[in-house]
Amino acid sequence: MSSEYLLEVNNLTKRFPIKGGLFGREVGAVKAVNDVSFKIKRGETLGLVGESGCGKTTLGRCILRLLEPTSGEILYNGQNILNYGPKEMRELRRKIQIIFQDPYASLNPRMTIGSILSEPLRIHNLFEGKKERQKRLYELLDQVQLPKDALNKYPHEFSGGQRQRVCIARALAVEPDFIVCDEPVSALDVSVQAQVINLLTDLQKDLGLTYLFIAHDLKVVEYISTKVAVMYLGNMVELAEASELYGDSRHPYTKALFSAIPVADPSKKADRILLEGDIPSPMNPPAGCHFHPRCWKATDECKTAYPSRTDASGSHYYRCYNPIN
């Protein structure tokens, strides 16, 4: 049962129907995630980057089945979880957890930290008995470096960074193997952001966790990930080892995305690829490669059909007719 890959996603597609007209007929669809495939090894981190509307959050939610995918397969430990019934799903959710972006919105303001953290334990009937549970709560607070007296406090008594620690502790409570981190540091100040990133890497080492790390900040993703996947308008356009992607990106969009990041060094003038225009609406994406209207390497071929997958070296692949180099 224990294959090398903890999670394998094959040809996953998620469409959101657009309803219109008098009888609410389906008049179109947003292809939020389109034919996406990837694998994550045990103990590794896959970073998922892309700009707003590229489908990265939808993809993360599909994996937890918080959204039901339209088609495709999600293999967790070799088993397709899309065939799971509610009972099996409930058990699986002990193994897969999620951390959300906004620690201000994802904690119930009327619950103490103690009841927030013991809720998942209660639901899954873990650490039963008052003493056992208390011990587990202290252990969790210790893991995320919060003081013991936090248990009786309410979320508003904590800063953003501390709240995100509570969210991490809540995800860890049920001893998961896999955590989807959906922009976990985007809402935090830089100095606090670094603390949370270090915490996540430490926990991964200590507990052998596997992460899907979703973010729009390329520097953070590069830092924390083993492999990085880049999405544009619902498609995964490139996937590679984190170190390889930065130095050797093949897809023009990846290249442009990296070059757009401001460099914290005034003596280096970034030689920037300025993309023209905006991200098109996913309701009505351009024909062929969705990136072609903004791409400086576009040819007529790009307007006809979506490029299929080209394998570069190792796990590196991209989808482009005119790759760089």
**Residues in contact with other proteins by the rule CB under 8 A:** 51-52, 159, 161-162, 189-195, 197-198, 201, 216, 218-220, 222-223, 242-243, 246-247, 256-257, 259-267, 270, 272, 274-275, 278-279
Question: Among 228, 246, 96, 230, which residue's Cα sits nearest to residue 175?
Answer: 96
Nearer to other proteins, 74 or 214 (CB): 214
Which residue in 36, 34, 37, 16 sits closest to 26, CA to CA? 16
Tell me how far, at minimum, the Cβ of 143 lies from other proteins, in Å.
17
Which residue's CB is nearer to other proteins, number 125 or number 191?
Answer: 191
Output the smallest distance, CB 222 to other proteins, in A.
5
Of residues 178 and 232, the one with the C-beta less far from other proteins: 232
Q: Least CB distance from residue 248 to other proteins, whole Å?
A: 12
φ, ψ (nearest 5 deg) of residue 308:
-85, 180
Nearer to other proteins, 91 or 142 (CB): 142
Query: Would residue 182 be called left, alpha or beta, if left means φ above 0 and alpha means ψ between -120 and 50 degrees?
Result: beta
Nearer Cβ to other proteins, position 62 or 218?
Answer: 218
Least Å from the CB of residue 250 to other proteins: 17
Torsion angle in degrees (nearest 10) through CA of 292, 218, 274, 248: -70
* Other beta carbons within 10 Å of 232: 26
Strand partners, 79: 76
Task: Give the residue with the Cβ less far from other proteins, 130 or 268.
Answer: 268
Q: What DSSP string describes 238-250? A: EEEEHHHHHHS--
For residues 93 and 29, give the distance between their C-alpha atoms in angstroms, rounded to a whole number: 29
Least CB distance from residue 96 to other proteins, whole Å? 26
Considering the complex, what minimum distance in angstroms separates the CB of residue 202 from other proteins? 9
